[in-house]
Chains A and B, each alone.
Chain A
Amino acid sequence: QQQVKQSPQSLIVQKGGISIINCAYENTAFDYFPWYQQFPGKGPALLIAIRPDVSEKKEGRFTISFNKSAKQFSLHIMDSQPGDSATYFCAASIGNTDKLIFGTGTRLQVFP
Chain B
Amino acid sequence: EAQVTQNPRYLITVTGKKLTVTCSQNMNHEYMSWYRQDPGLGLRQIYYSMNVEVTDKGDVPEGYKVSRKEKRNFPLILESPSPNQTSLYFCASRQVGRGYGYTFGSGTRLTVV
Contacts and interface: CB of A to CB of B under 8 A. Distances in A.
Interface stretch (A14-22, A38-46, A59-67, A69-77): A38-46
B108 to A, nearest CB: 11
Contacts of B42: 6, 89, 102-105
Contacts of B31: 98
A43 B105 contact: yes
A98 B48 contact: yes
B101 A101 contact: no
Interface in B43-64: 43-45, 48-50, 56, 58-59
Contacts of A100: 33, 45, 48, 102
Interface string B87-113: 000101000001101111111000000
B102 A46 contact: yes
A88 B72 CA distance: 28
A6 B33 CA distance: 22
Contacts of B50: 97-98
B59 A101 contact: yes
Place the interface of chain B in its size category: 20 to 34
B40 A2 contact: no
Contacts of A34: 101
B107 A43 contact: yes
B59 A45 contact: no
Interface centre among B41, B42, B44, B106 (most CB of A within 10 A): B42
B107 A99 contact: no
B101 A36 contact: yes
A104 B31 CA distance: 23
18 contacts: A34-B101, A36-B102, A41-B106, A43-B104, A43-B107, A44-B43, A44-B102, A45-B101, A46-B101, A49-B101, A89-B43, A95-B98, A97-B48, A98-B49, A99-B58, A100-B48, A102-B43, A103-B42
Interface of B: 4, 31, 33, 35, 40-45, 48-50, 56, 58-59, 90, 92, 98-99, 101-107
